[in-house]
A and B are shown apart, each in its own frame.
Chain A
């Protein structure tokens, strides 16, 4: 459907991908800027950095990063990803943000800076694992009862199996999903792995809806598969009705309120009571309780009021940052302005991509005993209004509405070309703005189509022969090779990320990218596929994914090129905190 090409979808997509406050929105287009930009202004940095900070101190105490000294990481080569590699480069950090990136000697380092020097080392942005099952315990992985409303963020634990390996391998951001057998298998979460735990990325606890759209490698007839896949399309059936029912309910509630007032007024008049305008306000409790349940009580099922304060959805502050990062961003920006002579002036408005229809806060409540009939009045005049019946709650539909509205990406696991085509057809038909294809082994033949529709791909199983052993030739997947797929997607212009898929493979993320290099991908593209592209796919490129001013201080330092087998990780900083340091 051509409507897809209409305004809405591309707008959401580009907003999501760039997702960050205006300053960084053009970043993909202007890669060379950081090096150049940071190279010239710094002379004034030290003195400027001192003065403007002072007045801000009071208001920002809790965000922590205040009087922290600048940390400078000097290394033989700095790979900012957003621009060309810088020989003898330096990265300046303060608190949890990057202050500047440039060449040693050109970018002045303040005297009081803490300097980490790696004369032969390589500096990269923290890696991003666009799909892993880390922090999800076995229980969750085998849970076939998941549905679209299941929030995986609730089920994450630090089970210590290999979870400490993520950050030790340089992964500072990871998207968690589980490959359970369920069709809609919950909402994945973005986490920040740490050496002894993890934290949920605020505002990204529910980062995507996971859909399994494949029957796996079982030998099945293509027609049979087509039929099955067709049925998958019914996922969105009734979504409009659901939305309408919700809207109708809201209207009915308002009407009830009005009618009830009228009903009271009628009787007051009849009984000669003066009409009290204040009554209108009093009517509120009648309507309020079911929508905003008592103090501290969460609203609809599936919503945890207690956790995020209210049962209502928090306003979306520009996708990437979430509320906290918003504030921190301001701070980083301020720092930046202090450091840079030419301060970026763009205000950091929350991203404009407001969904068309915000689901009402009261939705998703279970079916209350709404049908209680108020006693009949045989009086003429207005009739006693009836309490409207609440539509059945459906957490899955709630989630899918967000998908259709572009609030959440839909991540579809589809393997074979026919499955992928069905997924793409679904995107067209239901105008899904954000579609991410997982494990798209057969994407080779549909790469153009993927590119045309603006879908994105997360590649896993890149180590040689990890889907099917080379010796098994009769397997339906024997012809699929994700290692070469990367090159083809690159050629077709499809944004793709390389992901581990499993926490036990997390330390091998660079090796996976290297395997793609061995099959023809360029090193730059491979590096981007484990840093900036996944950040874009996850909608966090405003905060991480490259070494740029204002982004999180997520830094990986290795003793050799990242793709060399025996390179060791020397240092990992995540938001400025040392998470790993080689002894």
Chain B
């Protein structure tokens, strides 16, 4: 069960590490120093912690063994700790998988989240705009978030491709998934800035559709219509010239190869999102979903996954506030009762709290503690298709974990250290 690396090298590394690493913090420092060389071979066992592995009940007196950037083993006190492993006593602490924010709004300058020259820009990648040293990432790390899903902004009808990145690490290696999702935005936001006649110079590129909710839906429908047609043509004639990149991406959605994320806040937009998806036969994840309590049954029936933005908020802040949604604290419970899969996110609401506090509020508002924690770990990992790498604490997965001062759903909880791929990304 435990993959032991070359034992001689291990022993050498361990002796070295033991000499240096007495406490957890020193160990962390040592790992950081030797991140390239020695860090790879160091095996560390975190013992006597309460471990919430994700998707499974808590282990009261657990052991987490980490090495080579991966989780080597998780178990209770009976787990055999590999010889020579550095042992870190975590009595009184709680260890969870690194949190995953499935709708993370930071990480890039706001102007670069949307290419405003067109409304439908499926081929654009938000990854191109990310700054790995943005303060938003530092805040996320401090709050125990190790992986985020960043999507283009909500000013375009079809904004482009979202990506999944770790919140720390080398800029290239932190990318977990390049093309993770396609964002579609319904509601009032995509119309903002577009002008009707008399609203600006007629030659401006902003003199265009949509200026209404109807127009927004029309843009979505046209885009998917084109994609569907392209799909049928290529299927009929294999030698036909390949469709443009944008259309090709939409066909991937139609074929179920790419996750569509539809941002819809108010009830009408939520229903529209489900209807359009039905119409073209693709499945969509509903993002934000402030009014989801009004369409909970339909969501359940469609087996849709909901990215619930900022369950703590009792109103919607920022430009999205004009969308007409009326968030309620009871939403999480209403969805959970109908077995709708809920992923808790920070999303676009300007009033959102750190992700771990959002999970705490989900718990307060009626989600069970394990469910609430799963909603920021296991569930987003599954949704984003990265559950083979992170989201749980299990052997073989990335060593993304957080050592909390107490139960993470306690308002007093702080992340004492956050590890990404086994490296300390934040230490208090």
Direct contact between A and B in the complex (CB less than 8 angstroms)?
no
Q: Which residues of A contact B (CB under 8 A)?
A: none
